[in-house]
Chains A and B, each alone.
Chain A
Amino acid sequence: MRVLAAMSGGVDSAVAAARAVEAGHDVTGVHLALSKNPQTYRTGARGCCTIEDSRDARRAADVIGIPFYVWDMAERFHEDVVEDFYSEYAAGRTPNPCLRCNEKIKFAAVLDRAMALGFDAVATGHYARKGEDGLLRRAVDPGKDQSYVLAVLTPAQLAHSMFPLGDTPKDQVRAEAEARGLAVARKPDSHDICFIADGDTAGFLKNRLGSATGDIIDQATGEVLGSHDGAHQFTVGQRHGLGLKRPAADGRPRYVLSITPVDNRVEVGPREALRVDRIRTGRPVWLAAERTGSFEAEIQLRAHGEVYPATVTVEDGGLSARLHKPAFGVAAGQALVVYDTDADGDAVLASGTIDTALRATEGTAESLEAAGV
């Protein structure tokens, strides 16, 4: 096959490209330039979009012995990922830009262009497996599993994707990079959002969305506990950075419970108030055969987050999940990913963007206690 290896300049995508070559494919390395002005993105070893990263990717391609190009995806990235990031926060939701990038850039714009130019597949360094059945499955390394951020791919996109690292733990990938003479073997993992240069998400949002003083309100009493300079800088479940002067009456920490951008209102309360057991999503993407009605499955609500057994119902054009143990701090805008466990591991069934999360009701209180919460 003619394979386009997306090379970020990190260790994972470099080893993925090398493995694709070894598997006998005709591989071309491509680094995606995601910023018109690379200096504004993270520098050094941390991000995925800087001049250093572009050079690291190029050097890895040299060592692997494959042609290498830089593709300018800056405009698409800005429109589909960065603008989406702003507007989601402005609407009081918490987006996952990596997931959006996979959905709109890597496995859409890049894959489409690659296919048109005569490639058969795009290979990335994501930790996920593609089974013989074509299903997307969790990686063998549970700590690195990235099936969550890939759960937006349609079966057609999946069919033209390769994840050569899904069967290998990260430390082995690093050792392999070392053995292959790839200089990026010891490059640190990237954890932060690549387009926020200093890691200051609140400041990044403030620059674009502006700041406006609003109240931080105790949801239970309505009492004003403090002030903030822009509701969009908060995320549901957030505990730090609230700047509340007075401790709560019970001395326990307070969390963001809800954000209302329209009136710039942030409500806080105890952790208990974050407990939800019903979650609804918008239109789902089905990665496996579409289901109807209700079924038992496991769901994940955050990248590298906890897994919850749940009853999932397909209704009103979305997914509705009733959790068998409560979740805390579920933010709208994140993805709800449905996994099906079979003999071959966990396969992604579907995903949908979370619209609403409802408080645990009286009726479920017993089952919540039974679950040891």
Chain B
Amino acid sequence: MAYLDHAATTPMLPQALDAYVRTARSLGNASSLHGSGRTARRTVEEARERIAEALAAKPGEVIFTGSGTEADNLAVKGIHWARRADGRNRVVTTAIEHHAVADAVAWLGDHEKADVTELPVDEVGRVDTAVLAELLDERAAELTVITCMWANNEVGTLQPIAEIAALAAAHGVPVHTDAIQAVGHVPVDFAASGAAALTLSGHKLGGPTGTGALLLRRDVTAVPLLHGGGQEREIRSGTLDVPGIAALAEAVVHAVATQRTEAQRLARLRDDLVARIRRAVPDAVYNGDPEHRLPGNAHLSFPGCEGDALLMLLDAAGVECATGSACSAGIAQPSHVLLAMGADPDDARSSLRFTLGWPTTEADVDALVAALPEAVRRAKTAGLS
């Protein structure tokens, strides 16, 4: 079986799994005052320090959450709520955010009467900073928060976060960035980025599912989503998941330490994959920014084919990939990312995402290239229904 869906989830790194199992054996609530509690707390605080160091943040800026989605919601809603005031009620987002951000923003618009501005992207999926600059010049005083992802989860395009943060900083508007696809895959320096808040998720970088973190600058306030025991600067209540946090730290440290060499390896494999697909299926279209993209991401459209049909045929041939973000009832919607990039709805439904990860080898690419032409032939016959 060739697994080419590492952006959906990637296996836990052996050292993260070891850390998880080791820590899960020991007793202790990190908030307890006795010895067992102190031991657990020590594990959490060491993890916090290691994550902070790996991402150029301060330990006090790390807030552990139960998922990337939770961290995104905490940042977007929490900062908006904290900064909302008379005449200041506008959230700025982009047309290509993951649903964890996009739907949180939409909810603020629908249920909290927030004004929403969506920044457009160009044909490679890169946010238009000129539109943001103009917006800031005209109505910076209205803005509560700007949220823009570090790297797009579908087409892999890297976003100009430092530029956006610099523009916003000149007007004192905090920037949140969903860096779930970026951390461990491209260099991420929280301090240098200028972002006020940054989301990461464990299971996208070799840590456990059900772990995430928000890096939140100390000068930025976020109103909590969860109220309770007051853990994590009283911003995220809930008993700390000690083994999950220990494993997350292990995964972040390893992924960041090996990022440069691993990115080179994956980019080479990915470029090989794309070149071979284009030879095998000459009308395939490579989407996204050919240069500034995640090293393990290849996103292609296959004109005349339905992505769903291709996925099923490849699945039957032992190759696992994705069409876009999965949806709850399993009903495929044309990707909002591709639509924002100017694709027509049929093109948007004809695409597949192949994402490579730490266990990926040349054999996985071989399996895909062997199975794809027949799948494309059949899917073309079936057409777009």
Residues on A lying within 8 angstroms of B by beta carbon are 28, 31, 33, 36, 38, 51, 54, 67, 69-74, 76, 109, 112-113, 116-118
| Pairs A-B, 7 closest by C-beta atoms | A70-B330, A116-B382, A116-B381, A33-B331, A72-B331, A113-B382, A117-B382
Contact B308–A71 (Cβ < 8 Å): yes
Q: A76-B385, A117-B379 are in contact. Are A69 and B330 (CB under 8 A)?
A: yes
B313 within 8 Å of A by Cβ?
yes
Q: Return chain A residues, CB-CB under 8 Å to B332.
A: 72
Chain B residues with Cβ under 8 A from A69's Cβ? 308, 312, 330
Residues of chain A within 8 A (CB-CB) of B313 are: 117-118
Cβ–Cβ < 8 Å partners of B130 in chain A: none
Residues from chain B with Cβ under 8 Å of A38 in the complex: 329, 331
Give per-residue flags for B351-385: 1 if the beta carbon is below 8 A from chain A beta carbons, else 0: 00000000000000000000000000011011101
Given contacts A116-B378, A116-B382, A116-B383, contact A31 B309 (CB under 8 A): no
A31 touches B378 (CB 8 A): no
The CA-CA distance from A200 to B329 in the complex, in Å, is 25
Closest B residue to A118 using CB positions: B378
For B101-134 the 0/1 string (1 means CB < 8 A from A) is: 0000000000000000000000000000000000
Q: Which of B280-304 contact A (CB under 8 A)?
A: none
Contact residues on B (Cβ < 8 Å of other chain), bracket? 10 to 19
**Contact B331 A36, beta carbon cutoff 8 Å:** yes
B311, closest chain A residue (CB): A69
Whether B309 contacts A117 by the Cβ 8 Å rule is yes
User: B315 contacts A67, CB within 8 Å?
Assistant: yes
Q: Is the CB of B330 within 8 A of A54?
A: yes
Q: A68: shortest Cβ distance to chain B, in Å?
A: 9
Give the complex CA separation of A67 and B318 in angstroms: 12
Across the interface, name the chain B residue whose C-beta is closest to A55.
B329
Residues of A within 8 A of B385 (CB): 73, 76, 109, 113
> What is the minimal beta-carbon distance from A8 to any residue of chain B, in angstroms?
14
Cβ of B378 and Cβ of A70 under 8 Å apart? no
Give the Cβ gap from B2 to chain A, nearest Cβ, in Å: 16
Give Cα A40–Cα B174 distance, bound, in whole angstroms: 40
A70 adjacent to B382 (CB under 8 Å): no
What distance in Å separates the Cβ of B315 from its nearest Cβ neighbour in chain A?
7
29 A-B contacts, Cβ less than 8 Å apart?
A31-B330, A33-B329, A38-B329, A38-B331, A51-B328, A51-B329, A54-B329, A54-B330, A69-B330, A70-B329, A70-B331, A71-B308, A72-B308, A72-B331, A72-B332, A74-B331, A76-B385, A109-B385, A113-B382, A113-B385, A116-B378, A116-B379, A116-B381, A116-B383, A117-B309, A117-B378, A117-B379, A117-B381, A117-B382
* B316 at interface by CB-CB < 8 Å: yes
Given contacts A76-B385, A113-B385, contact A67 B316 (CB under 8 A): yes
Q: Hey, which chain A residues are within 8 Å of B381, CB to CB?
A: 116-117
CA distance A109 to B309 in the complex (A): 14
Bound together, the chains give a CA A71 to CA B332 distance in angstroms of 8
Contacts of B328 in A (CB 8 A): 51
Cα–Cα, bound, A33→B332 (Å): 10
Per-residue contact bits, chain B 242-281, to A (CB 8 Å; 1 contact, 0 not): 0000000000000000000000000000000000000000
Q: Which residue of B lies closest to A74 (CB)?
A: B331
Q: How many A-B residue pairs have CB under 8 A?
A: 48
Report A-chain residues with C-beta under 8 Å of the C-beta of B312.
28, 67, 69, 117
Chain B residues numbered 306-357 whose CB sits less than 8 Å from any CB in chain A = 308-309, 312-313, 315-316, 328-332
| Shortest distance from the beta carbon of A73 to any chain B beta carbon, whole Å | 8
A109 contact set on B, CB distance < 8 A? 385
Contact partners of A113 in chain B: CB under 8 A: 309, 382, 385
Query: Can you add 11 more A-B contacts, CB < 8 Å, to A67-B312, A67-B315, A70-B329?
Result: A28-B316, A36-B331, A38-B329, A51-B328, A51-B329, A67-B316, A116-B378, A116-B379, A116-B383, A117-B381, A118-B378
Complex Cα distance A69/B327, Å?
12
CA distance A37 to B154 in the complex (A): 24
Most buried by A among B312, B315, B379: B312
Which of A67, A71, A112, A117 counts the most B-chain CB atoms under 10 A from its CB?
Answer: A117
Q: How far is the CA of A373 from the CA of B330 in the complex (A)?
A: 54
Most chain-B CB neighbours within 10 Å: which of A28, A38, A76, A116?
A116
What CA separation (Å) do A22 and B157 show in the bound complex?
Answer: 47
Q: Which residue of B lies closest to A49 (CB)?
A: B329
How close is A31's CB to chain B, nearest CB, in angstroms?
A: 7
Q: Contacts of A73 on B, CB cut-off 8 Å? A: 385
Distance in angstroms between the alpha carbons of A74 and B383 in the assembled complex: 16
Instruction: Identify B330's interface contact among A33, A36, A118, CB under 8 A.
Output: A33
Complex Cα distance A112/B313, Å? 15
Chain A residue numbers with a CB within 8 Å of B329 are: 33, 38, 51, 54, 70
Question: Which residue of A is nearest B382, CB measured?
Answer: A116
Q: Kindly state the separation between the CA atoms of A74 and B313 in the bound complex, as whole angstroms.
A: 21
B328 nearest CB neighbor, chain A only: A51
Q: Distance (Å) between the CB of A91 and the closest chain B CB?
A: 28
Task: Please name all residues of chain A whose beta carbon is closer than 8 Å to the beta carbon of B330 when the two chains form the complex.
Answer: 31, 33, 54, 69-70
- List residues 56-93 of chain B with CB under 8 A from any CB of chain A: none
Instruction: Give Cα A265 to B225, complex, Å.
Output: 59
Per the bound structure, the CA–CA distance linking A59 and B328 in Å amounts to 15
A67 to B316, CA, bound (A): 8
B375 to chain A, nearest CB (A): 9
CA distance A28 to B311 in the complex (A): 14
Instruction: Give the chain A neighbours of B382 by CB distance below 8 A.
Output: 112-113, 116-117
Chain A nearest CB from B318 CB (Å) reads 11
Give complex CA distance A74, B331 in Å. 9
Output the nearest chain B residue to A38 by Cβ-Cβ distance.
B329
For residue A35, give the distance in angstroms from its CB to the closest CB of chain B. Answer: 9
Q: Which residues of B contact A116 (CB under 8 A)?
A: 378-379, 381-383
- Which of A31, A36, A109, A118 has the most CB atoms of chain B within a 10 A radius of its CB? A118
Q: How far is the CA of A38 from the CA of B327 in the complex (A)?
A: 12
- Give the docked Cα–Cα distance between A38 and B328 (Å): 11
Q: B320 CB to closest chain A CB, in angstroms? A: 11
Cα–Cα, bound, A71→B330 (Å): 8
A70 to B313, CA, bound (A): 14
Contacts of A33 in B (CB 8 A): 329-331
Tell me the complex Cα distance, A117–B313, Å. Answer: 7
- Report A-chain residues with C-beta under 8 Å of the C-beta of B308: 69, 71-72
Residues of A within 8 A of B309 (CB): 113, 117
Q: From residue B312, how far is it (CB to closest CB) to chain A in Å?
A: 5
Give A366 to B330 CA distance when docked, in angstroms: 60
Q: How far is the CB of A294 from chain B (nearest CB, A)?
A: 42
| A112 to B385 Cα, complex, angstroms | 10
Q: How far is the CA of A112 from the CA of B384 in the complex (A)?
A: 12
- CA–CA, A112 to B381, complex, Å? 10
A70 CB contacts on chain B under 8 angstroms: 329-331
Docked pose: A118 CA to B378 CA in angstroms: 7
Given the complex of chains A and B, what is the CA–CA distance between A117 and B382 in angstroms? 6
Complex alpha-carbon distance, A67 and B315, angstroms: 9
